[in-house]
Structure 1
Amino acid sequence: MPPAQAAPAPAGGTYHNAVTDGYSIDFPDPAVMRGKDGKFYAYSTGGPYDEQGAASDPVRMASSTDLTHWTKLGAPFVVGRNWPSWVTTTSGIWAPDIRYINGKYVLYFVGPDTTASSEGFDPAIGVATSDSPAGPWKDAGAPLIPARKNTGAGWETVIDPAQFTDTDGSRYMYWGSYGTGVWLVQLSADGLHSVTAPRQVATSRFEGAYVVKRDGWYYLMASSANCCAGPTTGYTVFAGRSKSPWGPFLDRDGVSMADSRAGGTIVVAQNGNRWVGVGHNSIVVDRTGQDWMTYHAVDRNQPYLQVSPGFTMRPMLLDRLDWINGWPIVRGGAGPSDDVEQAPVTTSALLDQKFDGASAGVKVLAGGLAVQPSDTKSDSGGFAALTGTSVAVSSKAPPQDVRAQADVRVPASGGSVGVTVRYADARNNVRAVV
């Protein structure tokens, strides 16, 4: 087997972990996405912003233009305003997961203490929607995945939601943690309801699931070990893959993540620098198409909140995610970074063109192109409406290497919309049609 080679670092600026430094000392279980407005948005389990605990929110939101500098947006839910009725008002909110589905931003989250009982820790997974990634958010009014009673005492660990949309448009929800394992249901087309019975896909060794599809494989990434043991935290992200979203998810050695002696191929683990307890990840893609993993970690030199030695701080880290020999691995196997690193490429002269003003930068060759004002229902800004058999081209010359991206809508009455990249002749172009 040839030696593994990591992908070259993209050109751009630089950054240094933790990327939430200067915004918050704690940002566990991060979920990150790029909004239709071009900004990036991050959501985390609730907690303090500073070491003294003087400021905190039950769940946190932040925005960024470059993935490496973050600005506070506050909390999506506030008691007395839009707090979910099925979550007790003294509860925090955990492990949010953010998606864009059918023109809506959809926020999945955990209510660890609910009105299902008076026992405490009877967790359930909720869902809220918004026209904007910054809110305001409207809770669905009832859990998506209700609290589930154990066969014995207590409640199942219905936490850590991760939504996944397949290439055929079908939608799924993965969730679960220690004690009861990782589970899966199929969701309705709007992502707001479950439509199948739950099925277990990974043993109780794992939590914090996240699923992506690549080259025909479904990859289940999940974390294992104690998330919050200060400088001795051993949290690690593992992966298995399957030809079906339902599993079985096998590691590189062919061992299932659902076996009693569970398999799992390491995606990121501590490497000897100050970062330990690296886990509970999400993935975001930069403008070059490079994958980046966001995850929390513990600084072994400064692990605890000052006012409470038992509270482990977990800021958010960002590192390049490579794919080597069919498996995801952070920085080619180098693990979490603690030096100056090449930053993601988050702007593009070609991809960041907007259909605003008088269609500057766009030439209509056939049919009609009408510039429309900001679409508040999708937070997308201005957009182009094509009529007839329309052909429009960008007048900006692309760079040598091109990545094209387009958000398109086909009317319910039918028709098609396509994007052609670097057209030379009928046999020398790249074309995608919806």
Structure 2
Amino acid sequence: MKFFKHIQNPFFFLALLTTCFSFAQKRPVTHDPVVAKQGDVYYLFCTGPGITSFTSKDLKTWTQADPVFAKAPDWALTVAPGFNGHIWAPDISFHNGIYYLYYSVSAFGKNTSAIGLVTNATLNPTDSNYKWTDQGIVIQSVPNRDLWNAIDPNLIFDEKGTPRLAFGSFWTGLKMVKLNPDLKKIAQPEEWTTIARRDRKGDLEDSEAGNAAIEGPFIFKKGDYYYQFNSWDYCCRGEKSTYKLMVGRSKSVTGPYVDKKGLELAKGGGSLVIEGNKNWYGVGHNSVFTFDGKDYTFMHGYDASDKALPKLIVKEVTWVDGWPTVKPMD
């Protein structure tokens, strides 16, 4: 989520995100969506107060549900002074009978950030075992120590079952780090990889994100390849949003990931998957999941008829010559 430094009025944007939409809707107000399916219900989680959530039976009509957190974690204010309860860019996985929901706490345009983890045995709020339990901080970035930003997490397992967390926004790009088997902390000795980056101005203070506009990694395994999706340019600016979705692939989860031309994503490469048009602005920050034998990507964008609010976009992914393809925005 996000580099809000260039938003003229970020607090107006945040106020919009707090609006309650409890009725069924085709395109709910959504930012940075991820989805899991339990039984016959799809559960969507996205940026918002306490982690906003929605449910659906058909991936078409969505109803808002209770947030994950009734109140933000107590540690959030110590990480990000000025934190206002909006939790960014969740990531959902089901592993060994438990749902793992990673999330981001940060301040606008700064790397005073941390990725936390909350777990649950079920996503069904009517189940007696339903309870979100916060596991605390997994990774934290600190200005003047780290030239990376601990937001936008995504959990991925390699072919041996080793867990790694991809994450990052602006600064020196997107990172991947090996986790402990319990998925709660960085493994020792530490194993770090830069999986994607764009050029960053060299004369910036460590606390400034700069113009290296890349964020939101999501790794999806298909066949022999791991596909890294990420978003270039700027979100959160209504009709001025320039977000676009890019991709590269690798036979190793840690890379190097390369685009269709063979250029490494860690050296500025990336092949376009989808971007906005005259009807939709700033399409990006996606996730990819397989449901009932079909691959889907979930992302957000700004409908030209309602420029102020990011909306959910769901598209089926097809594969052409080993590369993900989606239909352009209508």
Q: For the superposition of Structure 1 and Structure 2, which TM-score range results when normalised by the shorter chain?
A: 0.7 to 0.9
Aligned to 2:214: 206
SS in 2 for 1:294: strand
CA distance in structure 1 between the aligned counterparts of 2:196 and 2:288, rounded to whole angstroms: 20
Aligned to 2:273: 267
Q: Compute the displacement of 1:244 (Å).
A: 1.0
Given the alignment, which residue of 66, 71, 93 partners 2:63?
71
Q: Compute the displacement of 1:157 (Å).
A: 2.0
Q: Compute the displacement of 1:199 (Å).
A: 2.2
Q: Compute the displacement of 1:190 (Å).
A: 2.7
Q: What runs of 5+ residues in structure 1 fail to find an aligned partner?
A: 1-19, 47-56, 305-312, 339-434
Aligned to 1:129: 119
Asked if 2 retains the 8 angstrom alpha-carbon contact of 1:209 and 1:222, the reply is yes
1:140-182 CA distance string (max 9 Å, x none): 1x31012333359xx7421100111233322110000112310
SS in 1 for 2:265: coil
1:321-372 CA distance string (max 9 Å, x none): 11101111112xxx12x3xxxxxxxxxxxxxxxxxxxxxxxxxxxxxxxxxx
The amino acid of 2:63's aligned partner reads: T
Alpha-carbon spacing, 1:151–1:28, altered in 2? closer, same or farther (3 Å): same
Q: Compute the displacement of 1:59 (Å).
A: 1.9
Alpha-carbon spacing, 1:24–1:219, altered in 2? closer, same or farther (3 Å): closer
- TM-score when scaled to structure 2? 0.79
Aligned to 1:99: 93
The amino acid of 1:68's aligned partner reads: K
Q: Which has the higher helix share?
A: 2
Alpha-carbon spacing, 1:61–1:23, altered in 2? closer, same or farther (3 Å): farther
Which stretches of structure 1, 4 residues or longer, exceed 6 Å deviation after superposition?
none
Q: What runs of 5+ residues in structure 2 fail to find an aligned partner?
A: 1-22, 78-82, 125-129, 198-211
CA distance in structure 2 between the aligned counterparts of 1:95 and 1:145, rounded to whole angstroms: 14
Given the alignment, which residue of 283, 286, 300 partners 1:281?
286
Aligned to 1:145: 139
- TM-score when scaled to structure 1? 0.61
CA distance in structure 2 between the aligned counterparts of 1:191 and 1:151, rounded to whole angstroms: 24
Within 5 A, what are the aligned runs for 1:5-404?
Answer: 22=25, 25-35=28-38, 37-46=39-48, 57-79=49-71, 83-88=72-77, 90-113=84-107, 122-134=112-124, 135-140=130-135, 142-151=136-145, 156-195=148-187, 196-203=190-197, 204-259=212-267, 262-270=268-276, 272-287=277-292, 289-304=293-308, 313-331=309-327, 335-336=328-329, 338=330
CA distance in structure 2 between the aligned counterparts of 1:326 and 1:303, rounded to whole angstroms: 35
Number of matched pairs: 282
Q: Compute the displacement of 1:113 (Å).
A: 4.7
Asked if 2 retains the 8 angstrom alpha-carbon contact of 1:62 and 1:73, the reply is yes
CA RMSD of aligned residues (A): 2.3
Q: Compute the displacement of 1:224 (Å).
A: 0.5
Asked if 1 retains the 8 angstrom alpha-carbon contact of 2:148 and 2:173, the reply is no
CA distance in structure 1 between the aligned counterparts of 2:24 and 2:259, rounded to whole angstroms: 34
Alpha-carbon spacing, 1:166–1:156, altered in 2? closer, same or farther (3 Å): closer
Larger radius of gyration between Structure 1 and Structure 2:
1
Alpha-carbon spacing, 1:136–1:73, altered in 2? closer, same or farther (3 Å): farther
